[in-house]
Amino acid sequence: MHSNRRSILATCAAGLAWLSVGLATVPAQAEAPMVRDGLFVSVPNPITSEAVNRIQAIVERAIKQENRGVRTVIFDFNPITKANEAEAGRPVDADSRDYGSCYELAKYIRQKSNNGIFTVAFLKAKVIRHSVLPVLACNEIIMSPEAAIGEVVDRTSPRPPDAETAYYEELAGPARKAIVQKMFDRNVRLMKGSLQQNGVMIDWFFDDRARNKKENADVINPQPLLEPGQPALYSAEEARRYNLCRLIKKSRQEVAEAYQLSPSSLREDPLQGRDPVVFKIELKGPVNSVFLERLNRRISAARSQRANVLVLQLECSNGDVVAAREVADRLLALQQTDGEKSPMQIIAYIPDEAPDFASFVAFACSEIVMRQAKTDEIEERQRTGQKERLLGDFEALVNDPNRAADLEAVRTNLREVLAAQGYPVVLADGLLSKDVVIHRVRGRIDATKRRLMTEEDYQADRQGPREWQLESTIKHKGTLLKLTPKLAEELGIVRFLIENRNVNEVYGRYGFDPAKVQEAGPDWLDALAEFLRRPAVATILVMLAIGGIFLELKAPGLAIPGIIGSLCVVLIFWSQWQAGGITTLAILLFVLGIVLLAIEIFILPGFGVTGISGILFIIVGLGLATVTRLPETSAEWTSFAMTLLRFGGAMIGGTIGALFVARYLPNIPYANRMMLKPPSEDSQGDDPLAVLPGAAQAAALLGAIGVTTTVLRPAGIARFGDQFVDVVSEGGYTEPGTRVQVIEVEGNRIVVKPV
C-alpha cells in the first residue's frame, strides 16, 4: 500500500509537471535539453555468475565515467543477439533456473535503485523462472505487446522454498504481493479489491485464502481474477492492469523516448566490462574507396593488438556516397559481436568540422565528440565571412546542379545510417533539402515524450489525434539544417563538447590514460604512396617511364630499360590510385597512347597524327591519374594544365635521355654488354659490319633471303650477304639463325617472314 501511495504521488507530480510545461512559453521550452544520458544493458539468458559480474562492471563504468552522468539504466531481459538474429530477429525468452545468480543480480539492481540510479526492466518476450527476480528489483517495468512475465515454476513443479519466495514477496511490496505469489504458487486465488487512501480509491490485490488477514477493504470484487490451478503468466496488458507494468513499448527507441534518453544511450557499452585498449586513427582526404582501404588496414593492425576502442579523428571531406556507405557499414559491423571478436567502441572526434560525406563516418560511430569553438574564434570567423563549422554540411552538394541526381542516393543512405544508430532520420531531410521544416515537439498528454517532426507530419497530427504540441522550430524553410556543436549536443547527437583541439581532452572525458593510447598511423604502403605522389618524384617517374619504354623500343633486347619503365608506370598509377584518382580512365588513355605510339613507330612510315595523338593521350592519362574528378572551376583547370605541362616536359626529357643513352651506350665499358652490338666496319668473316642501308638500299633488298642474327620481337637484326639490317618480323617472335625473306619495304622499314 505504501508503494501504491508513492505511485499516486508520482502520478500527481507528473500531472503538475505536464501542466507546468503546457503553461511555459515556447522560448523557455527551447532552452531545455532534449535528452539526457542513459544506459541499456543486455541481460543474457541464462543469467550466470559471470554475466552478473560483467553487468556490474558495465554499470559501474558508466556511472563513474567523468562527465557522463548516467542515472537511468534499462536492463533488456530479451536482447536480440547474433545467435537469434537468424530467426527473423526475434528476442529469446528469458528462462534462468539458477536462483543464486538471479538473486545476486536482483540484489545489485536494488542496491543501485536505493542509491539514486533509476532502474528499468524492458521485456520483449517471455520472462519466466528465476529471471523474474531481477525484473522485480527494478524501479519500473516496461513490456512490449508480445512480452509476458510469470511462471516462476511450471505446472508440475512444487512451490520454491520459503527462503526464495520471501525475497520475491519483498521485491513485490504489499500492493503487488499476491500478483507475484501467483507466479510461483498455483493455489493462489487472486482477488481484486479497492482501498481508500488519503481520500483516493486505489486497487488492492490479495489471495482469497488470506482474506481474514487483509487490511480493511472498502469494496471487493466477488469475481476472482485468477482461479487456483496453475501459476500465472501475465501478458503485457494484464501486467499493466495489475500495476506490475508501467508502459507498453515496442522497441528500445520508444523506451529511450519515454525516459528522454539520447540516441547514443541505445548503444550498449561494447567493452562489456573489459579494460579499454585504445587506438587513435587520424583520417584525412576524400571518403572514397581508397579511404576505406586505408581505414581497413589500420583497423586490422589495431585489432591484431587487441584494440577494443578506436578514436577516429575526422579531418576528411568530399568523396562519393557508395564509398561513404561502405565505410559506415564497416564501422557499424565493428560495433557488433562477430563470432569470437568482441564489439568495439568507436568514438568520432571532430576537431573542426565533418562536412558532407565525413558525416557518414561520424554518424556510424558509437559516439561523437566535437570541439566547440571559443567565442573569439567564432567572432573572427563571422568577421571574415566564414561560416561556422558544422556536422553534416551538404551545402556544396545541394547547390551543385551537376550533382542533383546524387541527392536522393545520399538522402536514402544517410537515413539508413541514422536509423541504424537510433538518430532521428528526419535529420537527413533537413541536411539535404531547403524546403523541409523541422519542429521539436513534446507530447501533449505525456510531456516526457519529445521528438523531431517535419511540418507535414506536425500538421497531420493537428488534423488528427493532436498527440503533439510545438516546442520549437530547429530548421526553417529556405535554409539547410545547421548542426552546430551546441545544437548537436542538445539533440543528443554529440556526447561531449570540448574546447581544446588536443585529443587528450577526449581521452580525459572517457577516462583513458593518454600515455597508454596507441596510434594506428599510416603503414609503409601509405608512406610509399605519399612519397611517390610528390610532384618532383612523380615527374622523375614519368621521365624514367617514358625514357625506359622508348629506349626498349629503340634498342630491342636491352630488357632492363623496359623493366624499369614499366615499373615506373605501375608506381605512377598505383600511387595516384592510392590518392583516389579516376584511375580507370587514366589507365585506358595511357594504354591507348602507348598503342598509338607503337603503331606509329613500327607500322606507319614517318611521324604524323597517330604518333602525336599517342603522345597526347599518354600525357592526359598521366594527368588524370593525379585528380579525383574532372576539373570544373578555372582554378582546377589551371592546376590540371600545369600538371600536363610538367608531365609533357618529363616525356620530352625522358625521350632525349633515351636517345642519348642509345647513342652512347655501345661505347661505355661494361654497359655495352647489355645490348647486341652490330659488327664494326673492319670486321672480317662472319661478323662484318655493312653500313645500314638507306631507302634505296632497303628497296633493293625486296625478295632477298637472309638469316636472323638476333631475336626478332618483332624487331631485330638480320644478315643479308655481308649486310646487317634492322628488320621487323611479320610473324612476331623469331629465333636467331632463322632463314627469312624480305616481303615488304616501306622507306627504311624492312618487313621479313620466315622461309
- List the chain domain ranges: 33-150+238-269, 152-231, 278-436+477-519, 524-671, 680-754
Would you place residue 610 in the very low, low, confident or very high pLDDT band (cuts 50, 70, 90)? Answer: low
Of 110-124, 211-225, 352-366, the poorest mean pLDDT is in 211-225
Q: What is the pLDDT of residue 123?
A: 97
pLDDT of residue 454 exceeding 90: yes
Mean pLDDT across the chain: 81
Would you place residue 14 in the very low, low, confident or very high pLDDT band (cuts 50, 70, 90)? Answer: very low
pLDDT of residue 83 exceeding 90: no
Q: What is the pLDDT of residue 713?
A: 73
Q: What is the pLDDT of residue 402?
A: 80
pLDDT of residue 182 exceeding 70: yes
**Residues 251, 257, 262, CA angle at the centre, nearest 5°?**
105
Q: What is the pLDDT of residue 224?
A: 86
More confident residue, 182 or 567: 182
More confident residue, 499 or 134: 134
pLDDT of residue 685 exceeding 60: no
Q: Secondary structure of 338-396 in the HEC alphabet?
A: ECCECCCEEEEEECCCECCCHHHHHHCCCEEEEECCCHHHHHHHHHCCCCCCCECCCHH
Long-range CB contacts for residues 430-434, cutoff 8 Å, separation at least 24? 430/474, 430/475, 430/480, 430/481, 431/359, 431/392, 431/393, 431/394, 431/480, 431/481, 431/483, 432/394, 432/397, 432/398, 432/407, 432/480, 433/398, 433/480, 434/398, 434/477, 434/478, 434/479, 434/480
E strand or H helix at 430: helix 426-432
Mean pLDDT, range 113-139, rounded to an integer: 95
Q: What is the pLDDT of residue 675?
A: 52
Q: What is the pLDDT of residue 637?
A: 80
More confident residue, 558 or 64: 64
Give first-to-last CA distance, the chain, whole Å.
Answer: 115
Mean pLDDT, range 28-44, rounded to an integer: 70
Q: What is the pLDDT of residue 535?
A: 82
Length of the chain: 755
More confident residue, 619 or 517: 517
Would you place residue 530 in the very low, low, confident or very high pLDDT band (cuts 50, 70, 90)? Answer: confident
Contact 117, 73 (CB under 8 A): yes
Mean pLDDT, range 32-49, rounded to an integer: 84
pLDDT of residue 33 exceeding 70: no
pLDDT of residue 581 exceeding 60: no
| Residue with grid cell 662484318, as numbered in its chain | 688
pLDDT of residue 544 exceeding 90: no
- One fold for 33-150+238-269 and 680-754: no
Mean pLDDT, range 511-519, rounded to an integer: 91
Q: What is the pLDDT of residue 632?
A: 61
Q: What is the pLDDT of residue 22?
A: 36
Mean pLDDT, range 477-485, rounded to an integer: 93
Class (C level, CATH) for 680-754: mainly beta
Mean pLDDT, range 274-280, rounded to an integer: 91
33-150+238-269: which CATH topology? Answer: 2-enoyl-CoA Hydratase; Chain A, domain 1 (3.90.226)
Please, which residues have CB within 8 angstroms of residue 517's CB and are 6 or more apart in sequence? 278, 279, 280, 311, 507
Of 291-295, 320-324, 409-413, the poorest mean pLDDT is in 291-295
Q: What is the pLDDT of residue 254?
A: 87
Would you place residue 518 in the very low, low, confident or very high pLDDT band (cuts 50, 70, 90)? Answer: very high
Q: Write out the three cell numbers for 228.
A: 487456483
Phi, psi of 687 (to 5 degrees): -130, 45
Would you place residue 222 in the very low, low, confident or very high pLDDT band (cuts 50, 70, 90)? Answer: confident
The share of the chain scoring above pLDDT 90, in percent, equals 38
Mean pLDDT, range 181-209, rounded to an integer: 83
pLDDT of residue 339 exceeding 60: no
Would you place residue 662 in the very low, low, confident or very high pLDDT band (cuts 50, 70, 90)? Answer: low
> Which CATH superfamily groups domain 278-436+477-519?
2-enoyl-CoA Hydratase; Chain A, domain 1 (3.90.226.10)
- Nearest to 445, CA basis, from 267, 583, 729, 247: 247
| Residue with grid cell 604512396, as numbered in its chain | 529
Please, which residues have CB within 8 angstroms of residue 524's CB and are 6 or more apart in sequence? none
**Residues 434, 436, 441, CA angle at the centre, nearest 5°?**
140
Mean pLDDT, range 353-374, rounded to an integer: 93
Would you place residue 683 in the very low, low, confident or very high pLDDT band (cuts 50, 70, 90)? Answer: very low
Mean pLDDT, range 343-352, rounded to an integer: 94
Q: What is the pLDDT of residue 534?
A: 82
More confident residue, 53 or 223: 53
Would you place residue 545 in the very low, low, confident or very high pLDDT band (cuts 50, 70, 90)? Answer: confident
Mean pLDDT, range 396-407, rounded to an integer: 85
Q: What is the pLDDT of residue 688?
A: 39
Whether pTM > 0.75 for this model: the answer is no
